[in-house]
Amino acid sequence: MRDSIRFLRALLLTVGLTFLLAAVSSAQETIFPTSGTGGNYVIAIVSDGYDVNDKWKFDRAVNGLVLNGLMADAFYKKPAINKALTIKKLFRPTTTSGVSAFQISPNYDIRKCYIDYNQAAANGTTAKIEDAVHSVAPERTVVIGNYEGVSLGCTVDHWTSVSAGAREVGGVLEHEFGHLIAGLFDEYVLSENANKDDPGPDVDGPNCSSKLMAPLWSGATWTPPADHLPGCRYYGKKIIRPYKDCRMRSDGIDFCAVCADTMTTWLDQYIPKKTDAPATPQTQFRVAPIVLAGFGGQPPPQPLPPAPPPSTDRAVRMIVQLTQPKLNDITATTTIVKISDVTIPIVQRMRRVGDYVYGVIEGGNALDAAVLPGDIFQQRGYGGISAPHGGGAESLVTRVTVLIPHVAVADLVSRPITINFYKLDPAFGRQPNGARQNVTPETIRGFVGANRPWFAQVTTAQLRAAALSPP
């Protein structure tokens, strides 16, 4: 009888622990906004190396880095910024405290972005992170590692790994999200490069430019007035920036007017708009035509088309790996790392804050187009101080998030869809005020009709194979 009671107690304890672990492992919480509906730019904050007893440590790191750091910052508190954001905290406990579930470990070497990680496409670090966060379909992911007493991190692909100890320094995410959200460049100059020319490739904006006499920001009026100051993107010569000080150059400084405007206009796409009726697949892609401009071409003056309101609908979310044969090559190969069905707000990411775009093509028609912010092949290491951090290291491999709106994975078996990636010249398409032209489905249709060479392509055969046997 006693043995039966012991067995029953042990069974109940085992079942109880199983349910507890299941509940903890699936813990997901919206931490911003604290009430109401947030914006459509979703940031996932996910734990790494915390066991079930360490949740309080993870919460402490989140509070320090995100709630009392990023969202307490004067810039990110502005309604024009925070109305676009939704931040979700995901606690994913590991079996052993201090052991990474994503195969991330610190190496303390700036030349290696301060961390080691598994770069394999299948079951590598990026794939494992996507498995952990795909249910919330984030635009960006912050992985907080259980490392106290050290301040380091690295941005790779669409995720940033940062140590819990970085909360003691401050300013990490505030600076880093300038890169992640709006593709802003670092403006500081490394001491060893103070008298060196920028080696290229050429850039023109948002906040660094190789066009020394007519940079992107010179076509608009700024308060205070923007300048043409030497030094940006780690080099002292043959490249300029608009202001002496900026958060992208110095710690403790707010964003300059040019960077703040870039952040605000990009995030404006993600602020839910009040409309009389929700957008539908039929109206989602009705955009005013934009005259096709070639590399460096100048389109005639014309107003920007209004961005359609976001609509919540089904979509296919993919992580696609792009691999260059050599740095700054004109082509790349593609590998589908992950593919899944999601239900999310459909946002047209048209504003030009980077030189890489993709189009979802079916029968020569572009169903969607999206800009990929920043230099997608750049990795950035952070260590010791919040900004400036380690100089960018170009990689041959990157992994980007691609959305195919209004379809399911099963649809890809029968529909002749391809994903075309294009690399645009920095001077492509200028508006009358000097700002770079938006990239819309109409623009991509023009590329297809003119047989514009693509940089990389996910073929119909690749999509069908991934739909039938998801990686």
Q: Lowest mean pLDDT: which of 4-8, 40-44, 305-309?
A: 4-8
Average pLDDT in the chain: 85
pLDDT digits (tens, 9 = 90+) for 167-222: 988 888 899 899 889 989 999 998 899 999 999 888 898 999 999 998 989 888 89
Residue type for position 82: N
For 196, counting Cβ atoms within 10 Å of its Cβ (0-12 exposed, 13-18 middle, 19+ buried), the class is: middle
Mean pLDDT computed over 2-25:
44
pLDDT digits (tens, 9 = 90+) for 255-266: 999 999 999 999
3-state secondary structure of 372: strand
**Nearest residue to 380 via CA among 370, 372, 390:** 390
Is the pLDDT reported for residue 282 higher than 60?
no
Share of the chain above pLDDT 70, in %: 85
Q: Where exactly does CATH 3.40.390.10 map onto the chain?
A: 2-181
- Binned at pLDDT 50, 70 and 90, residue 287 comes out as very low
Q: Which residue has the higher pLDDT, 22 or 27?
A: 27
Is the pLDDT reported for residue 1 higher than 70?
no
pLDDT of residue 277: 41
Measured CA to CA in angstroms, residue 185 lies from 7, 179, 227 at distances of 62, 6, 17
Q: Lowest mean pLDDT: which of 14-18, 108-112, 242-246, 328-332?
A: 14-18
Residue type for position 284: Q
Residue position matching structure tokens 């906040």: 207
pLDDT of residue 390: 74
Candidates 1.10.3720.10, 3.40.50.620, 3.40.50.920, 3.40.390.10; CATH matching 2-181? 3.40.390.10
Q: Which of 14-23, 155-164, 331-340, 431-440 has the largest mean confidence?
A: 331-340
Residues 351, 265 contacting (CB under 8 angstroms): yes
Range list of H helices, 354-456? 441-449
Mean pLDDT computed over 72-101:
96
Q: Which residue has the higher pLDDT, 431 or 287?
A: 431
pLDDT of residue 413: 97
Residues 427, 211 contacting (CB under 8 angstroms): yes
Residue position matching structure tokens 């109305």: 83
pLDDT digits (tens, 9 = 90+) for 115-136: 999 999 989 999 999 999 999 9
- Binned at pLDDT 50, 70 and 90, residue 348 comes out as confident
Share of the chain above pLDDT 90, in %: 61
- Binned at pLDDT 50, 70 and 90, residue 275 comes out as low
Segment (H or E) for 181: helix 172-182
Distance CA 132, CA 103 (A): 13
- Binned at pLDDT 50, 70 and 90, residue 354 comes out as confident
- Give the count of beta carbons closer than 10 Å to the beta carbon of residue 220: 15
- Binned at pLDDT 50, 70 and 90, residue 280 comes out as very low
Mean pLDDT computed over 99-112:
90
Distance CA 341, CA 137 (A): 10
Q: Which residue has the higher pLDDT, 16 or 240?
A: 240
Mean pLDDT computed over 319-336:
93
- Binned at pLDDT 50, 70 and 90, residue 304 comes out as very low
Distance CA 98, CA 113 (A): 20
Range list of H helices, 183-234? none
Mean pLDDT computed over 281-286:
33
Residues 283, 307 contacting (CB under 8 angstroms): no
Distance CA 449, CA 163 (A): 48
pLDDT of residue 430: 72
Q: Which residue has the higher pLDDT, 282 or 459?
A: 459
Mean pLDDT computed over 361-382:
90
